[in-house]
Amino acid sequence: MLTRWRPYLLGLLGLATITFPFLWLQLAPDFAKNTVGVTWTPSHALNFFGDLSTVFVVALLIWLGNLGNRHFGWGRALARNSVWQKADHLWTDYWAWLIVPLLFLIIPLNFRSIGFVSTSTLGLLTFAGLYMILAVGLNITVGMTGLLVLGYAGFYAFGAYLFALTQQYIYFPWWMAAPLAFIFGGGAGYLLGLPCLRLRGDYLAIVTLGFAEAFRELMRNLDFAGGDKGIVLKDNSIFQGCAGLTNSQVCFAVTAFALVATVFLVQRLFYSPVGRAWIAIRENEVAAAAVGVPVVQMKLLAFSLSAAIAAVAGVIYGAKDGFVSPAMCEFQQSIMVLAMVILGGLGNSYGALFGAGLLYLVPEYLKVLPSAIQNNDALAAIVPSFIRDSFQHLSDYRWLLFGAVMVIMMLYRPQGLLGSSRRKTEMLHR
């Protein structure tokens, strides 16, 4: 009995050891004596874990459901059902083509006259679309080619600054800047890749991280780039309403079009000889070179295409907000996009879409969920008060939740939520 529960007990002990100095103790400075004392504050730790009570309740329900499934075999019985098998096959093959157009085109644009989708919701969906574009682009290098990139936000900021700097001196609308950003962004990725792509693993990740940080510091210290203040774009260069659509709706439509074009391009390449070469490099670079795959050229193509997609996303971001700043290429931006790719499924473009939407929209909607429950009398009567209170602080712990989700994914589903069947087979045979 003790052996069965030993991992859980050790995990709780480790959690208590790690959090002890941060949650259970508090510094008490005495300015009169110029000393600093330490006081025992269990209430602070209880409040911290109380804010996460909803997470613990959901985790408990999932654990109980897993135990029930093991005992009663619900999953096996459902898997043998012919109707479920057909529905599962249809969902696996076509869910993205059913959900993405509905989410990004039909609902927000067709229901604008009755106010079904507000401007703030359109803004959230637009940012979700931008993160989906970034996730699909990063999935080329990380998921398909096996190149660990930690500075992907640098190319995102490169496209935005290219657009912002050019429109400072000439009239340069977004529809002219996007194709040029694709070309110059791809060129920047190619030039960065020439000396770096012979590196592998952690060394390549460190170089790409250094590129993003160097670009951010360069923009912070250049006067003509606005420094820390950033650049405010001209009104005639950003999205403008047309054909009865507002600025936010035009921005949403452009983002949706760019997302569909990106997914189409990446999927066509993935199922082409180029995609098979990327997969071969990811699995065994030496073996791929031995059978004639041009390893360096294929790596440069993946790196350049990934950078070009990020640069186009940066142009859309600049044209949407009318402002760019060095904060665009902070380290946490790159890590967030990488987490989206890993959560959705390495090597699967649709998984990258799902992971990006999940990791961006869930924390954003958690912020407005308490007010939505409070304003609805029926929900306010049903939902317990401790859950409403915990939702108010849950989004503040999103990085903690991201880390926990990544650890769980690596332990129980390393191929991701929608990991490709090919990737799953490769992992099972290792």
Report, as ranges of residue numbers, the positions in the chain whose pLDDT lies below 70. Answer: 1-2, 21-22, 27, 36, 50-55, 88-119, 241, 243-244, 370, 372, 376, 379-380, 383-399, 419-430
CB 228 within 8 A of CB 222: no
Give residue 6's pLDDT.
76
Give residue 134's pLDDT.
92
The whole-angstrom separation of Cα 48 and Cα 397 is: 10
The whole-angstrom separation of Cα 137 and Cα 189 is: 12
Residue ranges per domain, the chain?
Answer: 25-72, 97-428
Structure confidence by residue, pLDDT tens digits, 9-37: 777 777 777 777 667 777 677 777 777 67
Structure confidence by residue, pLDDT tens digits, 270-279: 888 888 888 8
Alpha helices in 222-330 (DSSP H): 247-270, 273-283, 285-290, 295-321
Give residue 409's pLDDT.
73
Q: Report DSSP letters for 52-80, one per residue.
A: THHHHHHHHHHHHHHHHHHHH-HHHHHHT
The whole-angstrom separation of Cα 368 and Cα 363 is: 9
Report CA torsion sign: 132, 165, 178, 193: negative
Give residue 133's pLDDT.
92
Give residue 103's pLDDT.
52
Question: Can you say how many angstroms the Cα of residue 377 is from the centroid of all Cα atoms in its chain?
Answer: 34
The CATH T-level fold of domain 97-428 is ABC transporter involved in vitamin B12 uptake, BtuC (1.10.3470)
Spatial neighbors of 387 by CB under 8 A, at least 6 apart, are 53, 54, 57
